Every structure is written in C-alpha cells, then in structure tokens.
Structure 1
Amino acid sequence: MSAVGYELLRRKGGLTAFALAQPAQVRPVTKVMPGNGLLAIPAQVAPQSEDPLDHILFALKHEGVNLQILAQVLPAIPAAQMLAALKQTPNGQYIRVAAFLWEHFNGQRLEGRPEITVGYASVFDPARYITGPSRRDARWRVDFNGLGSLAYCATVERTPAIEAAIASDILGRANAFLKSLGPAMLDRALAWAYLHETEDSYAIEQETPSEDKARAFVQLLHQAHEGRRLSEDYLAELQSSTVTNPLDQAVQFRGEQNWLRGPGRGASGVTYVPPWPELVEPLMDAWMAFANDAPSQTDPIVAASIASFGFVFIHPFMDGNGRLSRFLFHKALCTSGKLAKGLLLPVSVAMKRNEADYLAALQAYSRQARERVKVTWIDEGEYQFEFRTDDAIFRYWDATACVEFGFRMAAQALDVELRQETVFLERYDQVMRRVNEKIDVRGNDLATLVVICLDNDGVISRKKRKRFADRVPEASFEVIEAAVRDVLDEADDEDTDSE
C-alpha cells in the first residue's frame, strides 16, 4: 500500500525528521481510520499525485501538525507554486497555514498574495492538541497557538490519559490534602518530601549527595517558589549549586560538544548526542521563553514536563543536566501559582520508583536523535560527531509521551508517596504514644526500632534485636512489636469498614 501525507514527504524527500507513530497509507477502507500503527486512508481521499504541496495540505487536514517535517519540506516548495495554490483557494484554512509556515521556514515573504476575507485559522486544533496562548498573524489570518514559538515548539496530543489527568486536578488535590494536615504533620511531611526528593534526584544519576550538597539542593527546591525568571546566569548558578566537581561548575551554557554514554564500547557506547554547541544558545533562548511563561498559560504539569524533558534534550551544560531538569519540573509548578508556597510534590521519588518508564520516556526522543549522528571513536573519551540532520529535530518534538509520564509521576507523588508517608507518620505517632507508656528505652533507639518494625509489618528481626541487645531489654522488643501490630490491625479494620 502506498504512503501518503507526511510519510510520503519523509520518504520521497529523504528527510531526517523522526519516524511517524502512525504513517498514513492508502488502504481499502471507506473513511480515514487510525489504528494498528498506521492511519488508513481511502484511495478517493488521498492526493492523486506525488506533488509535495498536495501532500502537505493533505497532511495538515488529516494528520495534524508535524513541524519537524514541515520545517524540512516547505523550503523546497517554489514560491510560485505556493502563490498559485493560494490564488485557487485564498481563504482555504490549510493553504493559509502552509503559507504562514512557508514564510517562516524560508525567511522571506510571499509577494503578491491574494486578499484573505475569512476569520482566523488555528495552526493547532484545540480539540486534538494541548495549545498555548493565541498569537495572531494578521497577514495570513492565522493563529499560532503552539506550546512555544516557531523557534522552539513541542506538540502534545490530547490522549485519553492526558485528558483524564488534567480533569483530575492533581495540583488542586495536592493543595487540599496538604492543607488538611495539622501544622506539625504538614511540617514533617514536607521535611520528608524535600529530603527524599533531593536524595532520589541524585540517586537517579547514581550519586549520593554529601550532607552539604543535600542541604544546598533542599534550599534550591525551596527557591522554586521565589518566582525568579530563568536566564543563562541563573541556570548556570543553579547548575553550580548541584555539581560537586568544581571543574564542572558552569558560568554559561556549554561551548563544546557533550554526549551521553552507556555500557557499550567505542562509538556504540554513545547513547545520545545533544545539539551542536553553536545551536545551544538560540535553542536555550527559545526554551527559556517557553519555560518562563508557559506554566501560567497552559496546564502546569504539561508545561513542567516539556520544560524538564526539553532541558535534558538540549543538555546545555557539561554536567548536572539531569537533576537540574527535575528541579525545573518543580520550578514550573511553582511558577504557575497553582501550588501553594512551600508545598512540594516529590516527583523525583516517583521517578526513582519508575526508572524504567523514565528511561523509556527519554529514549522515545533520544534514540531517534542518536540515529541522526555519525559517531567515530578516536581514542578513550574522544569522538568525532557528524550531524546528519538539521536543527528541526531539536526545535520541534512530540512531547506527548513525556507529558503522560509527567502526569503519572505527579499523581503518584501525591497519591502514593505523600499520602503513604503521612500515614506512616500518623502510625509512628500512635505507636510511640503506646510504647512510651510501657517501656523506658533511649529515644533514638526507640525511634529507630519503631520505624524498623513499621517497615517490616510488625516484626523486629533477630539480626536487629542482636544489634540493640546491649541497650534494649528483650521484653521491650515484644512491647514494640505488639504496639505496631495493634496499630496496623486497627488501620486494616478502618479500611475494611470504609469499603
């Protein structure tokens, strides 16, 4: 079956744009039908020629907006052909969008365009995509409503998972839950969240922060609520506060090529090559314009996911990009104003528990980008990089999978991590009240044993008893176990009654 639309443009033009999740193909169907990894197109609906402009207009109508492909194919369309198509249907929605984009990607105006007399056409269909603020172009009567700008724009489709997550109002529920706690419990829950968010963000990078670094990162998380706008100086300041090696602390965006390595040997061990150094500054300027304003212009978790993953894909520093990207997730939530000051969702804790899914979300983009770079091994730690693509793959990317992941982690941070820790603290308090009435054990030892017992379903192992035997009488272990089991049984009874 023949390819049409974006897939034909990609193949026929030898484009380096990423492979399509659902390439359009002519099939024996009676209507356009998505499914089974393709978009089935009736023969009578498909373009009747292989002319690129016909397939661009078809794709805009039936497949949505793929800026990666459009950025690479529109410059090849002659101005005369664009004008001829415009004169045939000057008020056509898709030819106007195509002409608007043609001018941007060619860096020139289409002179002699016909008069346009209809209302504005949106580049992104709000029924299909999460959209950004309206930016109207009076010349073409086109509304660019993307998540970013034509210098940097991610796309997010309204999948059922994303629609359900938006409707669930995670930040509203987080505010309500945390405010429902008493002041003392809230302080303890947040202290846990800030500390474990720090530890797990470093753990994802397979690092253990020193006490000073952990304290600095906790302080950094608190600063997310201060509203300071992102800039090169500010990001370099943030990077320096998270990196231990002073030789890797940055004062500006990188001016050299970096790469990510896996366990393989030579060139095969290079798993991702971020954009070339000359592209970093313009990309970061456009990324910062998005990251500073998007949290208040669209759903904050959508903005946070794009900002966080987009930062990693650009990789503007030689080190520290991963943990800084997770700070930027929090920064976006705080910038939105929809998470009360001082509150925090421990998203990195959830990500650490779901590292395979986190890696898959990253690789949905990074694997295809890596395929477009020829890497030649020179010597240990030295490589030559040949980019066999243009900047479109870094400027325009499909963030749908990353946003779905961001919503899942935000929900888990609230509904699992925070709630479970609060339940744990409440049970801890109940056990401590009961055992303090019956035994006299050194405070630190008692606290440690209660935590051990709660984590082990009411049992203190022989190994743990032996460790404390010189300070804790054997009978005290029994009292602690009994108290924990009683508290856990009561909790089970409450859960049963509530069902």
Structure 2
Amino acid sequence: MQAAGYALLHQQLQLTAVPLRLPAIVQPVTRLELIGQTMAVPPAIAPAADDLLGHVLFALKHEGINLTILAQALPRIPAADFERMLQAAPNGIYIRKACYLREAFTGELLTQHTSVRGSFIQLFDPERYITRPGERNSKWRVEFNGLGDLTYCATVERTPEITDLLVHDILGRARAFIESLPPVMMDRAINWAYLHETKDSFAIEREAPSEDKSRRFIQLLRQAHERQPLTEDYLVALQNATVMNPYDLAAAFRHEQNHLAGSLQGAAGVTYVPPQPDLCRELMESLMRFANEAPLQIDPLVAAGVISFGFVLIHPFMDGNGRLSRFLIHQALCNAGALENGLLLPVSVAMKREERRYLEALQTFSRPVRDFWDVQWIDFGQLAFQFRGDNAVYRYWDATPCVAFTMAMAKHALEVELREEMAFLEGYDAVYQAVDERYDVRGSELANLVMMCLTNGGIVSKHRRKQYQYTVPEEVFDFIERIAQQVFAAQRAEIEPE
C-alpha cells in the first residue's frame, strides 16, 4: 500500500520522527476516512509518489501540523518547486504555510511573483489544536500561534478527553472548594496538601526525604506563590534544594550526556536518552520563555503539562529532574494566578497512585526516541552515546497525552485526594470531640486512637486495645468505634444517591 502525506515523507526521506498515530495510506475508498489506526486516502486525491511538495500540501490540509517532519522535509524540496506552486496560487493557504516554514527552517528566501493579499492565516488550526497569540509574518501573512516558537514547540490536540477536562474548569472548582471551607479547616487542608505533595513527589523517585529536605521542599512550594520567573539560576537553586546527594548538586544546566535506565544492566538497560548538552541548553532557554509567558495566555493546566513534561524530557540536570518537573506544575499554576490563599493541588499524590499511567505518558515520547541512539557499553558505569537522528525530534513534540494526564491528575487531586482528606479531618474532629466530652482521656492518646480507628475502617484493633489497656478504659474503645461508624455512615449518606 502506498503511503501519503507525512507517512510518505517520513518513509521516502528516511526522517527522524516519532511514529505517526494515524498514518495516511492510499486505499480503495471514495473519501477520506479513518480505518483502524490509519487515515484511508482515495487514490484520486493522493499526490504522485515523487511529488514531495504535493504530499506536504496534502499533509498540511488533511493531517495538521507536524513540525518534526516538516523541519526535515521542507529543506529537501527545491525552492523552484515552491515558487512554481506559489505562482499558480499566490494566496493559497497551504502553500503559504509551507513557504513560511521553509524560509524559517532554511533561511533561504523564496521569490514571490505577486504579494500575498487577504487576512492573516494561523499556522495551527485553533479548532484542532490549543493555540496562543503568536508572531505574524507579513510576507506570507501567516501567524505562528503554536505552544512555543520555531526553536521549540509542543502541540496539544483538542481531543475529546482534553475538551471535557477544559470544560470541567478544574481550577475554578478548586478555588470554590477551598473558599467553601472554614478558615481553620482551609489551613489544615493546605498544610496536608503541602506535606503529602512533598512526600509523594520524592516517593515517585523511590526516595524518602529527610525532615530537613521535606521542610525545604515545602518552603519551595510555598515560595512558588511569589510568581518568580524561571531562569537558569532559579532552577539550579531549586535543584540544589531537592537532591539528596551533595555530590549531585548542580551549578548550571548539564554539560555532559545523561540517560535514564531500567533494571537491565549496560546499554540494554538504557530506556531514554535526552538531548545532547548543547541542544539541552538551547531548548531550556526556549522552554523557560514559554513557561514565563504561556500560563497567562492559555489554560494554566495545559501550560503546566507542557512545561512539566517538557522539562523532564529535556532533563537539564544530572539528578532531581523528576521532582522539579512536578514542582513546575505548581509553579505554572501560581504564575497564572490560578491558585490563591496558598492553595496547592497535590498532583504528585494522584500521580503516585497512577504511576503506570504516568510512565505511559512519558513513554509516548521517550520510547520511540530511544531508537535514534546508539548506546555502547564501555566499562561498568561507563556508556558511549551517539545520536543518529535529527534534532527536530527534540524541538517539536506531541504533548497531547502528557497534557491530558496532567489535567486528569489535577482533577483527581481535587475531587479525590483533597475531598477525602477533608472528609477524614471532619470525621476526626467529630469523633475526638464526642469522646472528649464524655471521657477523660489524655489528649495525645485520644488523638492517636481516633486516628488509628479511622484509618482502620472504624475499628480499634486488638493490638491497639492491648497497647493502651492500662491508660484507657475498655468502654472508651467501644465508644470510639461506635462514633466512628456513625461518622462513616453519615458520610456515605451524603455521597450515595437516595
């Protein structure tokens, strides 16, 4: 079967690109339609196999924008081909987009026989992609409205999942929920969120932070509300505050190649290789520009997803990238002014529960990019890396799965984690107060017993009864259980339909 559009360009020019989710394939159909995991193309509208520019224009019209492929393919097509097509249709939407991008990627100016007339066109279709206000090119009357710029740009498609999450207004609901709480309960909820966000962010990295590390990380989370812009110095300071090993403290973005590894030894265990150090620094400059602008231009959670996953895929430090990437979600939301009164959405708590989905989102990019690296084992702990692809694969990436995951975790953090903690605190207060009014039990012991009972399904275990048998009367255990069961029943009645 003959490929078309991006699939043909990818195959025929042997380009470096993440496999297409819906490759266009010429099939015996009468109209464009989705069949399985392909876009079926009628033979009548498919360009000839050797018409590379025709396939570019086909792709721009029917498949959207894939900058990874376009950045490599457009310079390979002679300028004369563009100029002939332009002469035939000087105001054509897709030839203008192609000419604009070719000039941007090559620096070679194309000759216009007639100036472009009419209104500006947007490079990314706002009905298909999430876009932001961009720079306008007056020669081609094209506006670059992508999530980034032509040095580094993510794409986020308006999938049904992302559209539903946008309509859900997660951040608005979070603000309303916190504002509905009494001030004391609000403080307790926020303190819980900071503590558990810290604990679970480290836990995802299989680390247990010391008390000092926890305190410093919580302090950083609170400082995010000061809306400090991202700079290299600021990120270095954040990295220094989050890593456990003093030998891993960074002084700048990395100057050596790093990698991620799984359980296997040697080259076979390398699961992802981020961009080379020089490219890493360039991409970080672009990502920081985006991070300092985008949260005020697009939905903050979309920006947060691009920034967080973009950061961890660039991997600018030798250690601490994962924790910082999750911190950057919070930082982006604060920069947008979306979280007030010190509010924090404990997304790391939700991600810890969904580690498999977290890994799957990362692997949509990391797994195929690993194939573009030759990794050779030299000695124990020493590997040699050679990139045999094109840097465009790192510059332009599809962030759709990562943004969908980020938004889903923010929704989970609000509707499950925070609400469950509020229900627990309310139940704790009710049981503690009821027991304290009736019995004279030492406060610390009562607090421990109530906590243990509520976390054990409303039962004071035999072990706890034995532990406190000489300081707490037996009837107190039974009373704690009875009140706890009443609290659980009342909470179930609130959420279960009649």
TM range (shorter): over 0.9
1:18-417 equivalent positions in 2, closer than 5 A = 18-417=18-417
- Runs of at least 5 residues in structure 2 that lack an aligned partner in the other structure: none
Report the AA paired with residue 278 of structure 1. D
Q: Secondary structure at the match of 2:44?
A: coil
CA contact (8 A) 2:103 2:110 kept: yes
CA contact (8 A) 1:194 1:221 kept: yes
Q: Which residue of 2 aligns with 1:427?
A: 427
Q: Distance in 2 between matches of 1:183 and 1:303?
A: 30
Q: Secondary structure at the match of 1:414?
A: helix
Report the AA paired with residue 88 of structure 2. Q
Query: Compared with structure 1, are the counterparts of its residues 113 and 268 closer, same or farther at alpha carbon in structure 2 (3 Å cutoff)?
Result: farther
How much has 1:134 moved relative to structure 2?
2.8
Report the AA paired with residue 203 of structure 2. A
Q: Distance in 2 between matches of 1:387 and 1:75?
A: 21
Q: Secondary structure at the match of 2:148?
A: strand
How much has 1:112 moved relative to structure 2?
4.4
Q: Distance in 2 between matches of 1:218 and 1:346?
A: 12
* TM-score of the superposed pair, with normalisation by structure 2: 0.98
How much has 1:308 moved relative to structure 2?
0.1
CA contact (8 A) 2:115 2:139 kept: no
Query: Compared with structure 1, are the counterparts of its residues 111 and 228 closer, same or farther at alpha carbon in structure 2 (3 Å cutoff)?
Result: same
The yes-or-no answer on 1:438 pairing with 2:438 is yes
Q: For structure 1, which segment, 62-71 or 336-345, has the greater mean C-alpha deviation from structure 2 after superposition?
A: 336-345
Q: Secondary structure at the match of 2:114?
A: coil
How much has 1:113 moved relative to structure 2?
4.9
Q: For structure 1, which segment, 375-384 or 434-443, has the greater mean C-alpha deviation from structure 2 after superposition?
A: 434-443
Q: Distance in 1 between matches of 2:359 and 2:51?
A: 39
CA contact (8 A) 2:90 2:114 kept: yes
Q: Distance in 1 between matches of 2:121 and 2:113?
A: 17
Q: Distance in 1 between matches of 2:234 and 2:478?
A: 55
Q: Secondary structure at the match of 1:352?
A: helix
Q: Which residue of 1 aligns with 2:485?
A: 485
Q: Distance in 1 between matches of 2:467 and 2:273?
A: 50
Q: Secondary structure at the match of 1:437?
A: helix
Q: Distance in 1 between matches of 2:170 and 2:240?
A: 32
Query: Compared with structure 1, are the counterparts of its residues 189 and 77 closer, same or farther at alpha carbon in structure 2 (3 Å cutoff)?
Result: same
How much has 1:475 moved relative to structure 2?
2.4
Report the AA paired with residue 174 of structure 2. A
CA contact (8 A) 2:151 2:283 kept: yes
Q: Secondary structure at the match of 2:438?
A: coil
Q: Secondary structure at the match of 1:357?
A: helix
Cα RMSD for the two superposed structures:
1.2
Q: Distance in 1 between matches of 2:133 and 2:300?
A: 14
Report the AA paired with residue 423 of structure 2. V
Q: For structure 1, which segment, 293-302 or 438-447, has the greater mean C-alpha deviation from structure 2 after superposition?
A: 438-447
Q: Distance in 2 between matches of 1:330 and 1:20?
A: 31
Q: Distance in 1 between matches of 2:233 and 2:462?
A: 55
How much has 1:205 moved relative to structure 2?
0.3
Report the AA paired with residue 345 of structure 1. L
- Please give the per-residue CA displacement for 1:348-404, whole angstroms capped at 9, x wherever unaligned: 000001000001001111001111101001111100001011211111000000011
Q: Distance in 2 between matches of 1:49 and 1:13?
A: 12
Q: Secondary structure at the match of 1:264?
A: coil
Q: Secondary structure at the match of 1:434?
A: helix
CA contact (8 A) 1:305 1:403 kept: yes
